[in-house]
Homo-oligomer: A and B are copies of this chain.
Amino acid sequence: MQKITFLIHCKDQKGIIAAVTNFILKVEGNITYIDQHVDVEQNVFFMRLECELTNRSIAIEDIKTDFKDSIASSFQMSWELYNQEQKPKMALFVSKYDHCLFDILGRYSADELGVEIPVIISNHNDLRSIAERFDIPFHCVPFTKDTKEEGEKQQIALLKKYDINFIVLARYMQIITPKLIGLYENKIINIHHSFLPAFPGAKPYHSAFKRGVKIIGATSHYVTEELDEGPIIEQDIARVSHIHSVDDFIMKGRDLERIVLARAIKLHAERKTMVYSNKTVVFS
């Protein structure tokens, strides 16, 4: 039995839910999950719907065409329809930090993430051996400030070659250029090591230590052109106290970074996130 996922958003109007659920009835779908959200301030309606197609003779492509013509156009919807069997392809960008990489590859091996990882790209060779241990192609694309454009070209070529759907920056530590962001809008996930908007930019643990906070955090977000200002997907925190040094913050933070990034990857892979107004709707 095929399973599909709808993501829909449009101006809030009367009758959307009735129309969509009537449509699913019509194509003999069995709704297994439906959730919706209305942003009252901005008058936007969001919906996520999963269903099983009980009639094999109705093809997904036909459903798409039918939905577009009979529903989406009249409500002026933005929408996507995913076949749940097709796992999204994720590229991992890394640099020298290995803890998020180990965590993601461990989860990937244990088949927890719902993605395929066809390639790991780095500007350094330090983590090549880890990629090899997990039998994942590793490409080193080194660049300097002056050759960044050239490096980006190589990255984009690799992303095309491997047919990549979304990118995860696992403590990549490099600023992504507007060109690459444009190609993967709301499809590049970063992990920042603070509870944003506190402590954006470099060395957040050091800043947190200096400020004497009692809580540190980590934040996964989609990358936009404004550094550390993109739509937040997930955050989590850990308690610290005066007994903890900066190094303790960093060590505790590693666990936060691992967990928060893994959650964001899973949410994105399962098509549970939608972006608008620089915020996310995260369906449960």
Q: Kindly list chain B residues whose C-beta atoms are within 8 Å of the C-beta of A237.
A: 195, 215, 237
Contact between B198 and A282, CB atoms less than 8 A apart: no
Contact of A197 among B198, B278, B282 (CB under 8 A): B198
Tell me whether A213 and B242 are in contact in the complex, defined as CB-CB below 8 angstroms, given that A107-B102, A259-B259 are known contacts.
no
Q: Kindly list chain B residues whose C-beta atoms are within 8 Å of the C-beta of A233.
A: 214
Per-position 1/0 for A25-45, Cβ under 8 A of B:
100001110111111100000
Q: Kindly list chain B residues whose C-beta atoms are within 8 Å of the C-beta of A22.
A: 18, 22
Query: Which residues from chain A sit less than 8 Å from chain B, CB to CB?
Result: 14-15, 17-18, 21-22, 24-25, 30-32, 34-40, 98-99, 102-103, 105-107, 109-110, 112, 130, 133-134, 195-199, 211-215, 217, 231-237, 241-243, 245, 251, 254-255, 259, 262, 277-282, 284
Q: Kindly list chain B residues whose C-beta atoms are within 8 Å of the C-beta of A232.
A: 211-214
Contact of A255 among B31, B133, B245, B259 (CB under 8 A): B259
Contact of A235 among B34, B213, B235, B277 (CB under 8 A): B213
Tell me whether A34 and B14 are in contact in the complex, defined as CB-CB below 8 angstroms, given that A106-B99, A196-B213, A242-B282 are known contacts.
no
Q: Across the two chains, which residue of chain B brings its CB closest to A260?
A: B214
- Name the distance in Å between A165's Cβ and chain B's nearest Cβ: 22
Q: Kindly list chain B residues whose C-beta atoms are within 8 Å of the C-beta of A110.
A: 98-99, 102, 254
Q: Kindly list chain B residues whose C-beta atoms are within 8 Å of the C-beta of A262.
A: 255
Q: How far is the CA of A245 from the CA of B279 in the complex (A)?
A: 13
Quick one: copies of this chain in the complex? Answer: 4
Contact between B34 and A17, CB atoms less than 8 A apart: yes
Contact of A21 among B21, B236, B254, B278 (CB under 8 A): B21
Q: How far is the CA of A197 from the CA of B279 in the complex (A)?
A: 21
Contact between B21 and A18, CB atoms less than 8 A apart: yes
User: 5 closest pairs, A vs B, by CB?
Assistant: A102-B106, A212-B279, A198-B198, A18-B21, A242-B281
Tell me whether A214 and B241 are in contact in the complex, defined as CB-CB below 8 angstroms, given that A102-B109, A112-B99 are known contacts.
no
Q: Kindly list chain B residues whose C-beta atoms are within 8 Å of the C-beta of A38.
A: 32
A-B contacts besides A40-B245, A102-B102, A197-B199, 18 pairs, CB < 8 Å = A34-B36, A39-B242, A99-B107, A105-B106, A112-B251, A133-B134, A195-B237, A196-B211, A197-B213, A212-B279, A212-B280, A215-B235, A215-B236, A215-B237, A237-B237, A241-B282, A243-B284, A255-B259
Contact of A217 among B18, B215, B282 (CB under 8 A): B215
Contact between A35 and B32, CB atoms less than 8 A apart: no
